[in-house]
Amino acid sequence: MANLRSQCARTVLRRRAALPKRPIMPVFLVPCRILLPAILLLFALTITPAPAMEPAIVVPAADHQQGNAQSVAFSADGRLVAAGFGGSYSTRGKERFQSGRIVIWEAATGKVVKSVAEHGDIVGLQFAADGKSCLYSRIYTPGDSVDANYSKLIPVGDGDDDATSLSFGRNSYIATLSPSGAAMAIAKTVDIAQVYDDAAMVHAAADVHKLSIVDSYTAKALAFSPDGETFAAVHGRQEPIIRKDGTVVLKARVIRTKGLTLFDTGNWSVQDSAISDELADCSALAVSPTARWLATGHPNGVVRIWDGRSLQKAHELKLETNKSLLPRFSPDGKTLAVLSQPPNALVWRRANTPSGFEFERRPNQSPCELVQYETETFTPLRTFQFEDGSFRTYHANLPAASQNPARLAFSPDSRQILVGCNGVILLDAETGETVRQFDAPLAAAQKSK
């Protein structure tokens, strides 16, 4: 019996060996109906979808007597806030009147500390590091091809006798103060900028540094880093004019805004400089703490992020708007806030009138949004949408800065944001809740001194 079982087993093995062998199918020949579901299952198990963006936090409109501010600022100690309101200029007999003003309040109480009459568009506003003075920048065009632009340093306390007006040409509205000292920088027609060691002593032959590099031209935007150690400028560059046939026009140059330069404020030497066509329409500049990042604001809803170590573009942020964007870094460097700028702009156009043109105000129904990004990968964190966020400009066809004024500022502790909406409001940076609304009675046109 054992021999019979052994013989049967050998017979089975011989028959199996005689069967044709089936080749092993390579993975790439596995039918798609088997392979594709396996791949999809693998992705489902290993990839976590990105978290959805939270809906925008709506900041409702609130009554206020003054129009929406064109510019705002926080003092370094957080004790004061300020706002610049544009206004018109008129004459009545021998008297001159102006309806705009700069107002300073106590941040904790909303009490008005100072109010100064002004006119034109107030596009920039900043407290000095010691909190004793405030710098504002005005754009005003009184007539054909005439620019009465300047920056003015006013004392925070009573009196205007110590006010200092600074005007070095049509770009004199481009100015900024050092956050860590008394230095002030202002755009100059030929140089990128001039820096005065003491802003209050500009007209007393204070030490001045003329900043320029080869083929550079005047600045379009200036900013100090929050630690005061780096100074940045987006500026023009002189380039040859090249005809269509490739020949160069002799003794002629064209100026294009395409330069980005960093200076060391210790000795005002050049740290680094770069050239990029993507700077052409820049109208705002912000520098993060320690100058790790730079942000430039542009029209058509664009903010570009530049690596402070290489000056190469690292990110491009886009909002769904065709308006200009204003970027600002928080003092702690953890957040970048971007504000869209919907102006109710005054424009002129050619018309069949005795003067050959007419003015038109274009109301803006675009939403005003503030988007906050974290500063590692620039992923959006939250969005505030303002029901009352547009602002008025007072003169037609002005520089791009009038469409992108400084209407956004962080508190020194980075926990609150001051915005030129609902007049002027202070928001909790995380929740969007209104901490305080700053208002001042709507003043009749004030006499000029």
Q: In whole angstroms, give the CA distance from residue 371 to residue 328.
A: 11
Structural domain boundaries in the chain: 72-444
The pLDDT, as a whole number, for residue 375 is: 97
308 Cα distance to chain centroid: 16
Q: In whole angstroms, give the CA distance from residue 363 to residue 403.
A: 13
Residue 15: pLDDT band (50, 70, 90) is: very low
Q: What is the pTM of this model?
A: 0.82
Most confident of 50-54, 156-160, 291-295, 394-398: 291-295
Q: What length does the chain have?
A: 449
Q: How far is CA 333 from CA 336, 379, 434, in A?
A: 8, 14, 23
Average pLDDT, stretch 121-141? 93
- Cβ–Cβ under 8 Å, residues 238 and 212: no
Torsion angles phi and psi, residue 169, rounded to 5: 120, -175
Most confident of 1-10, 86-95, 362-371, 420-429: 420-429
The architecture that CATH gives domain 72-444 is: 7 Propeller (2.130)
Structure-token pair, residue 203: 């007209």
Q: Taking 70 as the threshold, does the pLDDT of residue 398 lie above it?
A: no
Q: DSSP character for 328?
A: E
Q: In whole angstroms, give the CA distance from residue 192 to residue 271.
A: 15
Helices and strands counted in the chain (H then E) = 2, 35
Residue 171: pLDDT band (50, 70, 90) is: confident
Query: Beta-carbon neighbour count of residue 35 at 10 Å?
Result: 13
Task: Give the side-chain half-sphere CA count within 13 A for 146.
Answer: 5
Rounded to 5°, the CA angle 78-166-327 comes to 45
pLDDT tens by residue, 76-108: 999 999 999 998 887 766 666 778 999 999 999
Average pLDDT, stretch 17-32? 46
More confident residue, 50 or 191: 191
Q: Taking 70 as the threshold, does the pLDDT of residue 314 lie above it?
A: yes
Q: Report the greatest alpha carbon distance in the chain.
A: 137
The pLDDT, as a whole number, for residue 19 is: 46
Q: Which residues contact 269 (CB under 8 A, 6 or more apart)?
A: 263
Average pLDDT, stretch 315-337? 95
Q: How far is CA 78 from CA 33, 328, 336, 406, 438, in A?
A: 66, 17, 19, 18, 15
Q: In whole angstroms, give the CA distance from residue 107 to residue 426.
A: 9
Q: Taking 90 as the threshold, does the pLDDT of residue 46 lie above it?
A: no
Q: Taking 60 as the threshold, does the pLDDT of residue 26 lie above it?
A: no
Say whether 198 sits in a helix, a strand or coil: coil
- Position 259, amino acid: G
Structure-token pair, residue 121: 């568009």
Pairing mode of beta strands 343-350, 391-392:
parallel
Q: Taking 70 as the threshold, does the pLDDT of residue 135 lie above it?
A: yes
The pLDDT, as a whole number, for residue 169 is: 73
Q: In whole angstroms, give the CA distance from residue 387 to residue 365.
A: 10
Q: In whole angstroms, give the CA distance from residue 406 to residue 125.
A: 7
- Dihedral over alpha carbons 154, 159, 161, 165 (to 10 degrees): 20
Buried b (16+ CB within 10 A) or exposed e, 220-243: bbbbbbbbebbbbbbbbbeeeeee
4: left (phi over 0), alpha (psi -120 to 50) or beta: alpha
Sheet holding 302-307, edge to edge: 284-287, 293-298, 302-307, 313-318
